[in-house]
């Protein structure tokens, strides 16, 4: 959790951009992301050098660039290969010491072009950064922003010294910045709280052998969460700690039990995939994943509900899908995929069908949906539920508390967990569904979302993992419902449809006694009012 002092510093950073004319939250977060990225890659490169030195292995710094001649053409050696030169002037630790005007000159002309070309030109990061623009043209703003980010990173390091995992605090800083995107209400975008992402990762349990996707990834929170979950699985017990939600996380450097380069290569390039309709969000998501250690993330600027997606990508590609797709109501049918099996344009229904199609047989999904999807009586809502119950084994419906997504929205939501069985199935592959009510998520259910003392998430995880052997017959908090009963109820999948509600008989005083009590209360009120009148005069 961020300290109030750290939140105050982030708010001041926002204010600096606002006061200098960069008032669009999306634009501001993009520019701040560039600066955070410059600062973080410098730190990460120096840390990697230190680790390599201790291990006695050679380390190749990322701060090198092709050497150019006076005309700006690459200089090549006798074998016609590009010659590289030192790029230490692009380090944050170098340019942050310059005077404001010199800093602006260097960052805009050297450091920013440098970070745009960090990856191979064929990779998503370099392609999507190609037309990115550094719009900070005020030397005073850049100087103030650099100083503010230095202060923020100093506070992060203090929390790290106190035992907080560095990337968690850094992630909290990033999420706090991204709050402004949610507050702006742009395209219905809002971030999924990290503790709910952790919960879903615990339930789906992704591994390095998986191919993991978020079809509406935004800033990449689910992909970061999956990465950190995998690293935690491969971290020595003494390096594991319990976080504020009661879930296990690595302390500082995760994945120390991973010794094969093949595994790291897979995690860096072949495990995490995302799509988003907004190119700015794609850039932010790519930088977020790289900031968290995924070297070559795969996020593309594609609408997964479109015909373009059908033309460029195959069904059945992924073994894990985790998502909180936007609840933006109806979408424009122009360009929309005609492979999604329903005639409607409700995004939450279309995303569920798309996610089912994206999964390979045996693939697992965890998806947040508005609860109306579970019981709505329209043809498209019922048809979507039928597709899920046939094409997948619907494992669980976890009802979330009403305030789980405040302050963004008060919409009641649920998590669906399902495993792909067969595309376009004519038979029902779901035999029974497990229902669970998460009455609270460990945070107050108001706009402030304060952390509470109790930690209900580990309890929910344990109940899910032991559901086949420890689910009670009595339908109180968690229970199974057979498919036949779901069919009898019009494929209603809402928790409250099947929960047992116990009526508690209330006892009341006889009316005569209640009336006597009211007369006595009235007499006291009259007496108090008379005393007040005497005091006033």
- Cα separation, 42 vs 40, whole angstroms: 5
- Cα separation, 132 vs 452, whole angstroms: 41
pLDDT score recorded for residue 189? 53
Q: What is the mean pLDDT of residues 86-93?
A: 94
Look at residue 2 and tell me whether its pLDDT is greater than 70: no
pLDDT score recorded for residue 411? 86
pLDDT score recorded for residue 309? 96
Q: Is residue 434 within 8 Å of residue 471, measured between CB atoms?
A: yes
Question: Which of 53-62, 198-207, 398-407 comes out lowest in average pLDDT?
Answer: 53-62
Question: Which of 92-101, 305-314, 400-409 comes out lowest in average pLDDT?
Answer: 400-409
pLDDT score recorded for residue 505? 65
Mean pLDDT of the residues in the chain: 88
- Percentage of the chain surpassing pLDDT 70? 92
pLDDT in tens, 449-465: 888 999 999 999 999 99
CA distances from 413 to 9, 169, 373 (A): 33, 27, 9
pLDDT in tens, 398-408: 999 998 888 77
Q: What is the mean pLDDT of residues 98-112?
A: 96
pLDDT score recorded for residue 169? 59
Look at residue 180 and tell me whether its pLDDT is greater than 60: no
Closest CA to 219 of 294, 281, 302: 281
Look at residue 184 and tell me whether its pLDDT is greater than 50: no
- Cα separation, 492 vs 382, whole angstroms: 8
More confident residue, 162 or 212: 212
pLDDT score recorded for residue 470? 92
pLDDT score recorded for residue 503? 61
CA distances from 443 to 104, 221, 401 (A): 42, 19, 10
Name the DSSP class of 503: P
- Cα separation, 124 vs 221, whole angstroms: 18
pLDDT score recorded for residue 527? 85
φ/ψ of residue 321, rounded to 5 = -130, 130
Look at residue 183 and tell me whether its pLDDT is greater than 90: no
Look at residue 331 and tell me whether its pLDDT is greater than 90: no
- Percentage of the chain surpassing pLDDT 90? 52
The pLDDT confidence band at residue 372, using thresholds 50, 70 and 90, is very high
Coil, strand or helix: which one is 513? helix
pLDDT in tens, 233-289: 999 999 999 988 999 988 877 898 999 999 999 999 999 999 999 888 898 889 888
Look at residue 186 and tell me whether its pLDDT is greater than 50: no
Q: What is the mean pLDDT of residues 406-414?
A: 83
- Cα separation, 177 vs 404, whole angstroms: 19
Q: What is the CA radius of gyration of the chain?
A: 27
pLDDT score recorded for residue 502? 66
pLDDT score recorded for residue 504? 61
Start-end of H helices in 56-165 = 92-95, 100-106, 112-116, 124-129, 139-161
The pLDDT confidence band at residue 430, using thresholds 50, 70 and 90, is very high
**pTM, whole model, 2 decimals?**
0.83
pLDDT in tens, 124-170: 888 898 889 999 999 999 999 999 999 988 887 776 666 555 455 56
- Cα separation, 251 vs 241, whole angstroms: 6
More confident residue, 190 or 228: 228
Strands 248-250 and 240-242, bridge-based pairing:
antiparallel
The pLDDT confidence band at residue 232, using thresholds 50, 70 and 90, is very high
């Amino acid at each position: 959790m961020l300290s109030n002092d750290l939140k105050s510093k982030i708010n001041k950073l926002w204010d600096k951009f606002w006061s200098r004319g960069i008032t669009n939250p999306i634009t501001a977060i993009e520019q701040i992301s560039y600066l955070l990225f410059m600062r973080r890659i410098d730190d990460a490169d120096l840390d990697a050098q230190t680790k390599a030195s201790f291990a006695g292995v050679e380390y190749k710094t990322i701060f090198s660039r092709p050497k150019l001649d006076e005309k700006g053409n690459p200089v090549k050696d006798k074998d016609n290969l590009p010659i590289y030169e030192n790029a230490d002037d692009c380090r944050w630790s170098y340019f942050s010491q310059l005077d404001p005007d010199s800093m602006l000159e260097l960052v805009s002309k050297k450091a920013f072009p440098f970070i745009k070309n960090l990856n191979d030109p064929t990779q998503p990061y370099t392609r999507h950064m190609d037309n990115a623009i550094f719009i900070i043209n005020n030397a005073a703003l850049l100087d103030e922003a650099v100083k503010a980010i230095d202060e923020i990173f100093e506070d992060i390091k203090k929390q790290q010294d106190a035992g907080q995992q560095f990337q968690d605090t850094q992630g909290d800083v990033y999420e706090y910045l991204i709050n402004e995107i949610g507050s702006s209400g742009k395209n219905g975008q809002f971030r999924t709280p990290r503790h709910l992402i952790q919960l879903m990762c615990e339930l789906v349990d992704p591994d390095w052998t998986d191919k993991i996707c978020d079809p509406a990834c935004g800033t990449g929170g689910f992909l970061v969460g999956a990465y950190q979950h995998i690293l935690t699985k491969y971290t020595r017990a003494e390096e594991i700690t319990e976080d504020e939600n009661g879930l296990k996380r690595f302390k500082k450097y995760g994945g120390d039990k991973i010794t094969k380069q093949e595994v790291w290569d897979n995690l860096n390039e072949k495990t995490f995939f995302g799509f988003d309709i907004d190119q700015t969000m794609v850039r932010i998501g790519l930088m977020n994943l790289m900031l968290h250690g995924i070297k070559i993330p795969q996020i593309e600027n594609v609408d997964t509900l479109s015909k373009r997606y059908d033309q460029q990508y195959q069904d059945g590609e992924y073994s894990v899908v985790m998502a909180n797709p936007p609840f933006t109501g109806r979408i424009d049918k122009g360009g929309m995929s005609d492979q999604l099996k329903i005639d409607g344009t409700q995004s939450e229904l279309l995303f569920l069908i798309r996610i089912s199609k994206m999964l390979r047989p045996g693939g697992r999904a965890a998806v947040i949906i508005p609860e109306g999807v579970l019981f709505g009586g329209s043809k498209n809502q019922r048809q979507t539920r039928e597709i899920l119950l046939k094409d997948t084994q619907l494992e669980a419906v976890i009802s979330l508390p009403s305030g789980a997504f405040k302050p963004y929205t008060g919409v009641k939501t649920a998590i669906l967990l399902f495993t792909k069985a067969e595309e376009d199935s004519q038979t029902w592959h779901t035999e029974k569904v497990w229902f669970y009510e998460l009455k609270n998520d460990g945070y107050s259910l108001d706009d402030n979302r304060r952390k509470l003392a109790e930690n209900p998430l580990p309890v929910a995880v344990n109940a899910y993992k032991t559901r086949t052997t420890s689910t009670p017959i009595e339908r109180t908090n968690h229970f199974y419902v057979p498919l036949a009963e779901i069919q009898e109820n019009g494929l209603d999948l809402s928790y409250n449809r099947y929960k047992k509600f116990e009526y508690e008989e209330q006892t009341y005083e006889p009316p005569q006694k209640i009336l006597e009590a009211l007369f006595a209360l009235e007499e006291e009120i009259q007496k108090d009012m008379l005393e007040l009148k005497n005091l006033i005069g």
